[in-house]
């Protein structure tokens, strides 16, 4: 029996109801049902409806299930960019999205600030002919986030550009204004507290139209995950391939639980837990918030500089069945990352902070 | 509690040990571990080692985990074909692989025989400059299969061509000679009795070299699933994206169970159950084997013409908690498909045959 509490930034703690849902899935033999059956279509529809409700998604958006957020990057470029994308880069994942565009042969420009910094939106000019602008709402590697109010400024700056929002490790927390963007995406192993194996792509009609235009111009937009075909399948509560049926089932179940709790309660609890952690980071001897500007500090992936190596922090926490994330990449040892997801209860977060305080001052 | 026995051609019955492995996964919190942790690397390594042992895979092969066999089609074309692929087509899935190549802008030639027929290999000429030849060892839609001895004839016919074998719904049953082909692939929800969400690609060094050549010529071979990069990651027991960790864990566990049983015992049992079903199909009043030539009849996905509509067959079987697959596509009502996977015990298969006999003569 593993009693460890995972504050790692995803995979992380499972949402508390997941074990029970998994037992029910086994009893109902969800792993054996056909992905072409009405039973699966009903599960798919429940997952989509649950997300629409939780995120208050407008009707011109579609919900698509892919295998990972990494796949979403590739499909986004394939389906909506012929020549030029433009990427705000301030960490490893925003950087990687741009690399995907380059690997697919696109002219992928960037506006870069140092790792762990947010953006001063006023100073950003979106280059002419930018087809896709990659906004990084929550940079999982560095813990820098972009306030929703800042995201909302880009529509006017670049009305003809498709605005893609990386909210991989933050949704459903940010109250995005979906009328001011064109797509957002997340992974279920972050804030939805599920086993990894699904990336979710929220995508509006402007993106689908762009894919149609590229396709009719005779260019390839991929094969089984062409955006217009995915949308068509999705409206039938279907996928082209045999999908991660169990993952979609668990997502549908957890969404019902989250909707029962209510999005406002989830956001409030997340903010309170974040305040607890950041307050501790401000007053202790070992750690300090890595993102300097409080406006740019992520509520869901909290990154701290540490004077004790991250491996040593986790070694000491392990004795108490607690674990946090190490820093990302070059920051592996001199930063820690603390996930603050809906699966982490206020009591668990208090327990972590108390123990960090006790061990490291 | 769902007591139904699924003889559908995948998703299908889970391997009998899967519920226990799922309970262990929950106890060990496999859904929460980092995909960059040593714990995950060990799971990954066990899955690869287990497959190498079960399939007796040569050292020049790599084992790659993708999200579906559908994804394997796309990655195969992207990574190994610049101009021309050639597809043996005798059903819906072999046809779909070719369409993927066309959607990716390749010159995808075909050699087609009617749905449900096998191939006379002597009459097939592989066109000059064919980079990839798509062989369909087991056509899940029609139940036609290609004997391994026939597959082995192609290396001499087309020594410069990469030979790809679709064994989606048959492996580990066919004793493929991996030295006479270059790649094979399968889905875990078929003969491995697992929840859907993983496609497995067995790929040799010739395929990787081809991807290297295409990449160095300046052409794109995709982004996060470029073959050479996937191989490099796999050798570190890692994946580029956050993968379906739980799926890989369950695969590793089931492979240990299968290796304990032994590949020869699994193949023998599969053959005996297939003989039971085909013998019944030959002597009853309602059903007849859809594949005329006994040499081309799949042991794992058994397709029968039916004079009673497939929906009616399943309606009557449902009263006894049994279900078979309906026909594929246009054959939905006038064929049934019976999965004969390792998860289906001889007793269960006997039970199905007895009930079909009782209900339909």
Q: pLDDT tens digits for A156-181?
A: 999 999 999 999 999 999 999 999 99
What pLDDT, on a 0 to 100 scale, did the predictor assign at position B271? 98
- In this complex, which of B4, B194, B243 lies closest to A196 when CB atoms are compared? B243
Q: What is the pLDDT of residues B21-78, one digit of tens each?
A: 999 999 999 999 999 999 999 999 999 999 999 999 999 999 999 999 999 999 999 9
User: Across the interface, do A223 and B74 touch by the CB < 8 Å criterion?
Assistant: yes
Tokens of A55: 């995120």
Q: Between chains, do B195 and A245 touch, taking CB under 8 Å as contact?
A: yes
Dump pLDDT digits (tens) for A233-251. Answer: 999 999 999 999 999 999 9
Q: To 10 degrees, the CA torsion angle through A59, A62, A68, A74?
A: -120
Residue keyed to tokens 């993708």: B66
Residues of chain B with C-beta less than 8 angstroms from the C-beta of A22: 22, 26
Whole-angstrom distance between the N-terminal and C-terminal Cα of chain B? Answer: 30
| The pLDDT of residue B361 is above 90 | no
Structure confidence by residue, pLDDT tens digits, B132-156: 999 999 999 999 999 999 999 999 9
How far apart are the CA of A120 and the nearest CA of chain B, in angstroms? 30
ω into residue A172 within 30 of 0, thus cis?
yes
CB A74 within 8 A of CB B223: yes
Tokens at B141, concatenated: 């839609």
- In this structure, the strands spanning A322-326 and A335-339 are antiparallel
Say which of B187, B240, B246 has its CB closest to residue A195. B246
Strand blocks (E) in B75-195: 84-89, 107-112, 132-136, 138-139, 144-145, 162-166, 183-187
pLDDT surpassing 90 at residue A326: yes
**CB < 8 Å to B27, chain A:** 1-2
Among A6, A33, A241, beta carbon nearest to B68: A241
Please state the φ and ψ torsions of residue A33, each to the nearest 5 degrees.
-75, 150
Helix (H) or strand (E) holding B346: helix B346-360
pLDDT above 90 for A198 = yes
The pLDDT value recorded for residue A361 is 87
Q: Can you tell me the distance from the alpha carbon of A229 to that of A235, in angstroms, rounded to the nearest whole number?
A: 10
Give dist(CA A55, CA A53) in Å, integer: 6
Contact, B147 vs B170, CB < 8 A?
A: no
Residue whose pair of structure tokens reads 């300090």 in the numeric block: A288
Evaluate if residue B300 carries a pLDDT over 90: yes
Among chain A residues, the shortest Cα distance to B248 is held by: A197
Q: Does A24 touch chain B (CB under 8 A)?
A: no
- Name the DSSP letter for residue B297: B
What is the rounded average pLDDT for all residues in chain B? Answer: 98
Candidates A69, A223, A228, A318: best to mutate against B (most CBs of B within 10 A) is: A223
State how far the Cα of A175 lies from the Cα of A168, in Å rounded to an integer.
Answer: 14
The values of phi and psi at residue A339, to 5°, are -75, 135
Q: In Å, how far is A317's CA from the nearest CA of chain B? A: 16
CA–CA gap between residue A288 and residue B335 (Å, rounded): 67
CB-CB contact of B256 with B50 (8 Å): yes
Determine, for residues A73 and B30 on separate chains, whether the beta-carbon distance falls below 8 Å: no
CB pairs < 8 Å spanning A and B: 172
ipTM over the 0.85 cut-off = yes
Residues 66-85 of B with CB under 8 A from A: 67-71, 73-74, 77
- A265-272: average pLDDT: 98
Per-residue pLDDT at A183 exceeds 90: yes
List all residues 6 or more positions away from B299 whose beta carbon is below 8 Å from its beta carbon.
B145, B170, B173, B270, B271, B274, B340
Say whether B220 and A104 touch across the interface (CB within 8 A).
yes
- The CA-CA-CA angle for residues A8, A12, A13, to 5°, reads 125
What is the mean pLDDT of the segment spanning B314-318? 98
Complete edge-to-edge strand list for the sheet that includes strand B301-306: B5-7, B322-326, B335-339, B301-306, B287-289
């Amino acid at each position: 029996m593993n009693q460890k509490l995972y504050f790692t930034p995803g995979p992380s703690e499972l949402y508390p109801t997941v074990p029970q849902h998994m037992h029910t899935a086994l009893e109902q033999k969800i792993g054996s049902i056909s992905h072409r059956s009405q039973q699966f279509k009903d599960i798919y529809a429940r997952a989509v409806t649950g997300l629409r409700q939780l995120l208050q998604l407008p009707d011109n958006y579609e919900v698509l299930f892919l295998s990972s957020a990494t796949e979403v990057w590739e499909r986004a470029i394939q389906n909506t960019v012929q020549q030029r994308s433009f990427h705000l880069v301030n960490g490893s994942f925003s950087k990687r999205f741009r690399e995907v565009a380059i690997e697919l042969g696109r002219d992928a420009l960037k506006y870069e600030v140092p790792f762990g910094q947010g953006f001063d939106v006023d100073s950003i000019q979106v280059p002419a002919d930018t087809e896709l602008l990659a906004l990084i709402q929550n940079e999982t590697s560095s813990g820098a986030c972009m306030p929703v109010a800042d995201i909302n400024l880009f529509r006017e700056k670049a009305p003809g550009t498709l605005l893609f929002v990386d909210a991989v490790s933050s949704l459903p927390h940010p109250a995005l204004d979906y009328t001011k963007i064109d797509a957002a995406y997340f992974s279920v192993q972050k804030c939805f507290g599920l086993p990894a194996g699904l990336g979710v792509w929220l995508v509006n009609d402007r993106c689908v139209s762009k894919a149609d235009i590229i396709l009719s111009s005779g260019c390839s937009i991929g094969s089984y995950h062409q955006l217009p075909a995915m949308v068509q399948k999705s409206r039938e509560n279907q996928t082209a391939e045999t999908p991660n049926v169990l993952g979609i089932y668990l997502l549908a179940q957890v969404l019902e639980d989250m909707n029962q709790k209510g999005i406002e309660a989830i956001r409030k609890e997340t903010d309170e837990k974040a305040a607890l952690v950041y307050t501790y980071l401000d007053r202790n001897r070992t750690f300090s918030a890595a993102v300097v500007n409080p406006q740019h500090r992520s509520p869901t992936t909290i990154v701290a500089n540490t004077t004790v190596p991250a491996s040593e922090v986790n070694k000491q926490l392990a004795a108490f069945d607690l674990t946090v994330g190490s820093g990302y990449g070059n920051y592996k040892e001199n930063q820690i990352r603390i996930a603050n997801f809906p699966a982490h209860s206020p009591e668990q977060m208090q327990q972590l902070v108390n123990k960090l305080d006790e061990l490291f001052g």
